[in-house]
Structure 1
């Protein structure tokens, strides 16, 4: 899957983020990216903070283990998750196929 890459210490995700949604959730695929709707508004880094917290909770890691690699002010982002729970990764992959 082009939106998911496995690394030695976790995974990297290519994301398309839609801030200002009714709720925070995975929303399927958007081209070669995983689409995530965020309830947080796109102001003063609130959407990025909400995104990283959402991914940390989903993948069962500490917030410090989720890193925004690129796309700070863009809807297109790359995020690295160190030590992601393999069961959660497999469940996410299965839900999108």
Structure 2
């Protein structure tokens, strides 16, 4: 499960940095150009994650946060590449 704080309508698409909520939970920050209409921003986020993780789009599912900035996504089949995916996500979160 990946927790992402999405900024739609950004000037540039990017993944990196972290955000900590009021419960002290860490969220990966992501920005997409797509606007938050009719699922466009969610689809752009999935495409961005798929490209960054080198993972099929169809294997990344939005679990919660359809109309919210805070989203939880599930990576299907991630068990076989768990160490690689975890290391990459931690690198993204650590960026400023």
The structure that is helix-richer by fraction is 2
- 1:87 maps to which residue? 84
Q: How far did 1:77 drift? A: 0.4
Q: Within 2, Cα distance between the matches of 1:69 and 1:27? A: 21
**Contact 1:27–1:36 under 8 Å retained in 2:** yes
What's the TM-score once normalised by structure 1's chain length?
Answer: 0.77
Q: Which residue of 1 aligns with 2:33?
A: 39
Gaps of 5+ in 1: 1-11
- SS at 2:42 equivalent: helix
Contact (CA 8 Å) 1:14, 1:34: kept in 2 or not?
yes
Higher strand share: 1
The superposition leaves residues 12-65 of structure 1 with CA deviations (integer Å, 9 ceiling, x where unpaired) of 111110000011111301112111111111111100010111111111121110
- Paired residues in the alignment total 86
User: Where does residue 14 of structure 1 map in the other structure?
Assistant: 3
CA RMSD in angstroms, aligned pairs only: 1.7
